């Protein structure tokens, strides 16, 4: 059971890594108004995107 779960998690991590590499983005920790969230950094433009309260917030650096 635990080995199955590890395999599921490894599959998801590999999928996320592949998407990030192909699209030249990175998942980063980000402080959004005092709340820690996972944000996306566009490595081409340096812009940071975070989703908050069902809306996309553009937080350019």
Q: State pLDDT tens for residues 2-31.
A: 799 999 999 999 999 999 999 999 999 999
Q: Looking at the predicted structure, is the pLDDT value of residue 1 above 80?
A: no
Q: Is residue 15 part of a domain?
A: no
Q: Is residue 43 part of a domain?
A: yes
Give the DSSP per-residue string, 2-57. Answer: HHHHHHHHHHHHHHHHHHHHHHTEEEEEEEETTEEEEEEEETTT--EEEEETTEEE
More confident residue, 37 or 57: 37
More confident residue, 52 or 33: 33
**39: exposed, middle or buried (Cβ count in 10 Å: 0-12, 13-18, 19+):** buried
Strand partners of residue 15: none
Q: Is residue 32 part of a domain?
A: yes
Q: Is residue 34 part of a domain?
A: yes
Q: Is residue 16 part of a domain?
A: no
Count of structural domains, the chain: 1
Average pLDDT, integer, range 44-50: 96
Enter the pTM of the model: 0.72
Q: Is residue 8 part of a domain?
A: no
Give me the chain's average pLDDT, please: 89
Domain that holds residue 29: 25-61
């Amino acid at each position: 059971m635990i080995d199955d779960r590890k395999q599921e998690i490894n599959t998801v991590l590999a999928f996320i890594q592949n998407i990030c590499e192909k699209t030249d983005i990175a998942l980063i920790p980000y402080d959004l108004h005092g709340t820690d969230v996972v944000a996306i950094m566009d490595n081409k433009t340096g812009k940071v995107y975070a989703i908050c309260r069902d809306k996309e917030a553009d937080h350019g650096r």
